[in-house]
Structure 1
Amino acid sequence: MSQKQNCTLVPTTTAMEEPTLLFPDTDLDLSFTSTTTDRTSARTSLARSSSLTLSFNDRISTAEPSISVVNRHPHRSSDPNWSAIQAATMLSSDGRLHLRHLKLLRHLGSGNLGRVFLCRLRDYDGANFALKVVDKDLLTPKKLSHAETEAEILHSLDHPFLPTLYARIDVSHYTCLLIDYCPAGDLHSLLRKQPQHRLTLSVARFFAAEVLVALEYLHALGIVYRDLKPENVLLREDGHVMLSDFDLCFKSDVAPSLTFQTHNKPSRVGPTDGCFSCNCLPYRQHHQTFLAEFIAEPVAAFSRSCVGTHEYLAPELVSGNGHGNGVDWWAFGVFLYELLYGTTPFKGCNKENTLRNIASCKDVRFVHVSEGEEPGMTEARDLIEKLLVKDPRRRLGCAKGATDVKRHPFFDGIKWPLIRTYRPPEVKGLVRRNRSHVSDHVSYRRKRWSWKRLSHVLRKCNLISNYSNNNNNCYHYVDSYKVN
């Protein structure tokens, strides 16, 4: 979650450079106050709350906690965070994770439903987490419903560009969600560090492609995001993205389909002489191939709620006549525009003027075009124009989702199944750290294959027998996503 306000913490303990607030073993007593100032850009969501008071008090210790540690998901099953949580639960008297096992370090940011803190497990400093704390006593019934929806969505996610929910702890009037921490900040802060607040085309394409894949996954689950903006695109320690803030989402039914499209391909050119020439039969100069097309887009999604950030609102959302999945593809077009041009396309002198520009009949204009622009900007503008079509029925992505967007020439050359193995670009102000467990797994995999090659040689020489490659008692490797 991005830092939407600047907070000054006044801990009840002795002031230090990075205040560490420990939970005692028996009674939970954590109280501090905060003072806030509004951020200059004021690009907060329409449904954001202004309450920033959080006080853990003695009522928590008298309540019976409800604790849920989420099962490991396949793509993150080998993450060291899981090992740390498993160790903490094994040492716990009842085998469960409690708030007293967590050590709060500092406040990270505030959102529509609660506040987020950087924390660690009390006796283990090797893993950082983000703890989202929701005070249910401060929420309206509608926001309570949003909080529960967000928790359900986080529980269902299993994707490298989306957060992992490690545990949910309900104590008294608090709901605490333990999720991934992204130390590299958010994309909005990174943009502020760039010349003219814009990224180069190759860097923008990288971040846009990863966000596109994350949106595709959400839509396949029937989830309409409704809050895409650089502030909500966090950067992991390895430089890859992670979407955050799911409190404005809504869920809908989705009917996945798999179709096959014909594609004409010219025959391979071969030798022109001899009886086996490829060109000896003129009617075989072209052959047809079938391309599988998987579509999982919530085209029937519909809502009348007016939520989101004003610069990213779609025209149908501004009008209040109801909207569906198309608001995410509109926001994706605005997002790409801001990455490349340093501002949003319909921004006015104030919020009302911005909303008026969005609702008008005028198409998007590229007033920031320069003569010596990078190659590929023509394709980028074409993609943005197709995403920022005022009529959602003609907007790119509304019918077939990410399937159509991926095929645009702007993304030519990207191997989508391998995107999470791409090395993140070097960007000013972005400090990347390699995750040690990935290199350890790579070394382990190399050792494993060395042993397999050795066993193959020995088997050919009849020096060993009854060898099985599926001997799980000897070698077992759980692959994880590559960073570099």
Structure 2
Amino acid sequence: MIQFEEAILGLSDDLGAITIANQQVDDDDNASTRSSITAVDATTHDYKVKLDQQYVSSTVESSCPKVGSDDFNRLCVLGRGAFGKVFLVKHHTSKTLYAMKTLKKASLVLHVNNIKTERQILEQVRHPFIVQLYYAFQTPTELHMILEYAVGGELFRYLDQEGMFSEPMACFYAAELVLALSHLHGLGIVYRDLKPENCLLDQNGHILLTDFGLSKVSLDGKTNTICGTAEYMAPEVLAGLQYDYSVDWWSLGILTYDMLTGSPPFKGNTRQKTIDRIMSNKPTMPYYFTNEAKSLLTGLLRKNPHVRLGAQPKGADAIRKHRFFRKIDWKHLGERRVDPPIIPLVTDPESAEVNKYNFLLAHGFSHPTNCATYQV
């Protein structure tokens, strides 16, 4: 049983401390940097992640270096999955709120590598638009990951209620995702599961990319596993071909189209029809799309990954320079100095309830047609 637990958690006695340097990594870095996920961007601080057979901790909770399930009070369930649940929890000492991902060991025998990869990535990635892991520990029957609590909930909820976003709004969220994905690619990580449900909002309305269970760490950036959500999967993935980071840019194109129209471009009433449309159809561009939006989506949704916008060698730099993002100040965006279009207003964070939200009218954001109450 110990070997099974170590295999899942990626733990052993000879693992020491891993220091995560305050270092920027992007698509222009050399291949040796991209092949490692130990050098990551910490926006303002250096982080140290300590590993042993009981926990993973960061300097965020230096006053409580070792934790277990008894150190947290479960407040409510934030989400459910096939292998466990995500709880909103409060740390007894610091009173800080976290999201605790709890997985049943008995259900994970065939998914050991996914869980191990997810934790390895979250241990080492520090980015303003990627959810942060603070602790990981285990009980005899469960695995636990203590994650940053995204109080704003899923981007999907807002998109579902609103129907569609204005172009400036979609541009903002797509731009934050460009920075998050290009950071992952710089570390040799193919994300592979970009969709609105995996894009959370923090208390200020910024994106937090979450759920790395399907991510792949690849030394050469290439793999051929068929995985993901059908509506957002690239043609080369569905065809079982070898693929690279460009599958994430396809998914970004699908997500941006989804934000602008309220639905993915190739969605069918069955999974097979969706796949058939992805493989054979071209996306329909609604009349209200600007030329910049049409150009971006045409580039991102090219079925040939070698000519897709974002493909190597130019990578994410070609996307950042596209006219769709002409109003984005990438430096300010990366420093979280650009106001998000949606600001969650939370009166009681412990209830996991967003009572309402504000749309900013500045920066060209359009006002919504429906100001309903939102709960997450």
Give me the TM-score of the superposition, normalised by structure 1: 0.58
Partner of 2:142: 174
**Residue equivalent to 1:233:** 199
d(CA) in 2 for partners of 1:72, 1:324: 25
Q: Distance in 2 between matches of 1:136 and 1:176?
A: 10
Change (3 A) 1:303 1:110: farther
Q: 1:407 — aligned with what? A: 321
1:346-405 deviation line (CA, Å, top 9, x unaligned):
112222111110011x32211x324xx6xxx21011100011001111111111221111
Residue 249 of structure 1: how far off its partner (Å): 0.5
Counterpart CA distance in 1 for 2:230 and 2:216 is 18
Q: Distance in 1 between matches of 2:301 and 2:139?
A: 44
Partner amino acid, structure 1, of 2:184: L
1:235-267: CA deviation from partner (whole Å, max 9, x where unpaired): 0001101000000001112xxxxxxxxxxxxxx
Secondary structure at the counterpart of residue 335 of structure 1: helix
Within 5 Å, which residues of 2 pair with 1:4-83?
74-75=42-43, 77=45
SS class of match (1:307) = coil
Give the structure 2 partner of residue 48 of structure 1. Answer: none
Q: How many residues align?
A: 305
Partners of 1:151 and 1:97 in 2: CA distance: 17
Shift of 1:302: 2.6
> 1:72: how far off?
8.2
User: For residues 335 and 396 of structure 1, what CA distance do their matches in structure 2 show?
Assistant: 15
Q: Distance in 2 between matches of 1:134 and 1:70?
A: 25
Aligned to 2:89: 119
Which of the residues 278, 283, 291 maps onto 1:378?
Answer: 291
Within the candidate set 353, 358, 369, 2:287 is matched to 369
Moved more, 384-393 or 166-175: 166-175
Larger Rg: 1
Residue 394 and residue 72 in structure 1: after superposition, are their counterparts in 2 closer, same or farther (change >3 A)? Answer: closer
The letter for the 2-side match of 1:369 is Y
Q: Deviations over 1:402-422 (max 9, x none)?
A: 111101011113221221333
Is the contact made by 1:190 and 1:430 (CA closer than 8 Å) also made in structure 2? no
Q: Does 1:342 align with 2:311?
A: no
SS in 2 for 1:394: coil
Which TM-score applies when normalising by structure 2?
0.74
CA distance in 2, matches of 1:114, 1:173: 11
Which deviations, in whole Å up to 9, do the C-alpha atoms of 1:110-154 show, x marking residues without a partner?
Answer: 3465321110112443x210111122221133x111100100000
- Deviation per CA, 1:177-201, whole angstroms, max 9, x where unpaired? 111010111111010121xx11111
**Which whole-Å CA distance do the structure 1 matches of 2:278 and 2:217 have between them?**
25
Q: Which amino acid aligns with 1:318?
A: L
Q: Does 1:164 align with 2:164?
A: no
Deviations 1:38-71 (A, max 9, x none): xxxxxxxxxxxxxxxxxxxxxxxxxxx9999987
Corresponding residue SS for 1:421: coil
Partner of 1:422: 337
Give runs of aligned pairs for residues 47-446 of structure 1, distance below 5 A: 74-75=42-43, 77=45, 85-87=61-63, 89=64, 96-111=66-81, 113-125=83-95, 127-141=96-110, 143-194=111-162, 197-253=163-219, 300-360=220-280, 362-366=281-285, 368-370=286-288, 377-399=290-312, 400-419=314-333, 420-427=335-342, 430-431=344-345
Give, in whole Å, the separation in 1 of the partners of 2:316 and 2:187.
13
In structure 2, what is the Cα distance between the partners aligned to 1:78 and 1:105? 31
Query: Helix, strand or coil for the counterpart of 2:144?
Result: strand
- Residues 78, 145 of structure 1: alpha-carbon distance in 2 compared, 3 angstrom cutoff: closer
CA distance in 1, matches of 2:171, 2:264: 17
Q: 2: CA distance between counterparts of 1:330 and 1:104?
A: 38
SS at match of 2:345: coil
- In the superposition, relative to structure 1, how do residues 78 and 193 fare at CA in structure 2: closer, same or farther (>3 Å)? farther
Q: Secondary structure at the match of 2:98?
A: strand
Separation (CA, whole Å) in 2 of partners of 1:78 and 1:153:
17
Q: Distance in 1 between matches of 2:108 and 2:67?
A: 26
Distance 1:403 1:83, change over 3 A: closer
Unaligned segments of structure 1, at least 5 residues: 1-64, 90-94, 254-299, 434-484
Question: Measured at CA, do residues 378 and 218 of structure 1 come closer, stay the same or move farther in structure 2, by a change above 3 Å?
Answer: same
RMSD: 2.8
Contact 2:204 2:344 in 1 (8 A): no
Q: Give 2:304's aligned amino acid.
A: D
Instruction: State the SS of the aligned residue for 2:319.
Output: helix
The answer on whether the counterparts of 2:206 and 2:340 sit within 8 Å (CA) in structure 1 is: no
Sequence identity percentage: 32
Residues 217 and 432 (structure 1 numbering): CA distance in 2 closer, same or farther, change over 3 Å? farther
**Aligned counterparts of 1:100 and 1:70: Cα–Cα separation in 2:** 26
Q: Distance in 2 between matches of 1:347 and 1:208?
A: 20
Q: Report SS of the residue matched to 1:334.
A: helix
Whether the aligned pair in 1 keeps the contact of 2:20 and 2:124 (CA below 8 Å) is no
Whole-Å Cα distance in 2 between the matches of residues 387 and 228 of structure 1? 14
Aligned-partner residue type, residue 149 of structure 2: Y
2:369 alignment partner in structure 1: none
Inter-partner Cα distance in structure 2 for 1:250 and 1:170:
23
The separation in 2 between residues aligned to 1:425 and 1:324, in whole angstroms, is 31
Q: Tell me, in whole angstroms, the C-alpha distance in 2 between the residues paired with 1:203 and 1:244.
A: 20
